[in-house]
Amino acid sequence: MKIGFIGLGIMGKPMCKNLIKAGHRPVIFSRNQATLDELTAAGATSAASPKEVAAQVDLVITMLPNSPEVKEVVLGPNGVIEGARPGCIVADMSSIAPLASQQVAASLAEKGIEMLDAPVSGGQPKAVEGTLSVMVGGKQDIFDRCEPIFKAMAASVVRVGNIGAGNVTKLANQVVVALNIAALSEAMVLATKAGVEPELVFKAIRGGLAGSTVMEAKTPLMLDRKFNPGFRINLHIKDLANALDTSHEVGAPLPLTAAVMEIMQGLKVDGLGDSDHGALVRYFEQQAKIELKRPAAR
């Protein structure tokens, strides 16, 4: 299956590199010349537009910031829909609103083009490692054709339902991650303010019921004051906005998510929008007027 890839940013570029490592020679489009040069040197072929990408491939993968960008690239002028042949598949691996996925899929279906919504979880580190989790919505037979492609970029690939279900699942994932980071931050600041070393608290509770992948990934970074983005606060704000919008559409209140959303908005106002979402801890530090550090750094 010939693959196209559009959206070669912090997540898309390493994902595309893993496709190349797996033996694929994707056709790519980017407005960033340095990215094009890097990936074509690795074995990709560049195209002048999303339309030109789609005209050459059987599967177009998109990895874009949000719903408007997906709609522009797929349905806009010189978009995928203008170049794709009937039977072509669009696998949108962006994290967007479920309703937007359904709208894009409906427009593509009118041209005989198939679609999967297949957002990912794991952030940049797992994109680089090729160990992402992919949650997929769409027809079973289309999923079956694309699953081996996804597995070149991921450790877990699960079909969760029809179009839109992938992004509903991703929103659920982002709610859990956001609340986990907030709870972890709150707990570690409490321990620090009470005079107990947060690193020892981490070691003591990580093996119990409180332990989590979030705790394992974020606690060391908080203690080392490493807030360079694996997943930016701005992007998590986007995901929580989509989660809250969806919750209003279906009638499922998300009061805890709304509270964490406001904390993230405050950090964005403070200029931390491009920091890793682990920087949530800085809100709780500001409130308690204390800072997490390893003992040697005190």
Residue numbers annotated as active site: 170
Instruction: Give dist(CA 242, CA 248) in Å, integer.
Output: 10
Q: What are phi and psi of 169, to 5 degrees?
A: -65, -40
Contact at 8 Å (CB) between 163 and 99? no
Q: What are phi and psi of 293, to 5 degrees?
A: -155, 155
Contact at 8 Å (CB) between 114 and 138? yes
Only one residue has tokens 């709610």, namely 175
What are the Cα distances from residue 101, in Å, to 54, 117, 138, 154, 243?
18, 7, 10, 21, 14
